[in-house]
Structure 1
Amino acid sequence: MSGIIVVHELDTPAPSRAADRSAQGAEAAVRRVHAAPAAPGTTTEPGPRTLCGRDTFAMRAAARTPPGEPGSPWYPPQEEGLVCPSCDAAMDDG
């Protein structure tokens, strides 16, 4: 599993004046967890697309790096319910 970066697709609610003021400094919630190949020449930056084909530009790299151990999940265990099914299937095929 080397060369895979776990990225978070963030939930970005529709902007409103009250929400903008109350959300300043607040961190966006994770909407979906994706897997992306590492960008060429790096092991810490995601490439331009996830394994399911989504653009990684607005995504945030997770603190977790897939361990590469057989049978271990590539995603953070506490985010299991947020895993992109297409990325998960691609990781199982790899």
Structure 2
Amino acid sequence: MGGIVVVYELDKPMTARSSSGTQGGEQRPVRRVHAAPSAPGTSSATGPRTLCGKDTFAMRTASWRPAEHPGAPWYSPQYASVVCPECDAVIET
């Protein structure tokens, strides 16, 4: 398998409010962390589908690069609770 790119499936936008009660920018929490094969000829762009088969079009590419963290999991530890089990199983095999 070629390179892996970590992508975030984002939740619906939530409007953030500052402590003064005014509306701030929109936040989109990470719903699920997926792995996708890199697009041919690049190590940072994703292919069209994740390893579990979801479309990557609306997903955000993570700054976490598995190749930069030898011995660490393919995902950022801060998102361990929302890792896609199907993507994780494909990587483990």
Bin for the TM-score computed over the shorter chain: 0.7 to 0.9
CA deviations on 1:39-66 (whole Å, 9 max, x unpaired) are 1111111100000000000000000011
What is the percentage of aligned positions where both structures have the same residue? Answer: 58
Is the contact made by 1:2 and 1:66 (CA closer than 8 Å) also made in structure 2?
no
Q: Which has the higher contact order (CA 8 A, sep 6+)?
A: 1
Which structure has greater helix proportion?
1
Q: What is the TM-score with the length of structure 1 in the denominator?
A: 0.80
Q: What is the TM-score with the length of structure 2 in the denominator?
A: 0.81
> What is the count of residue pairs matched by the alignment?
87
CA RMSD of aligned residues (A): 2.4
| Structure 2 unmatched runs, 5+ | 16-22
| Structure 1 unmatched runs, 5+ | none
Which structure has greater strand proportion?
2
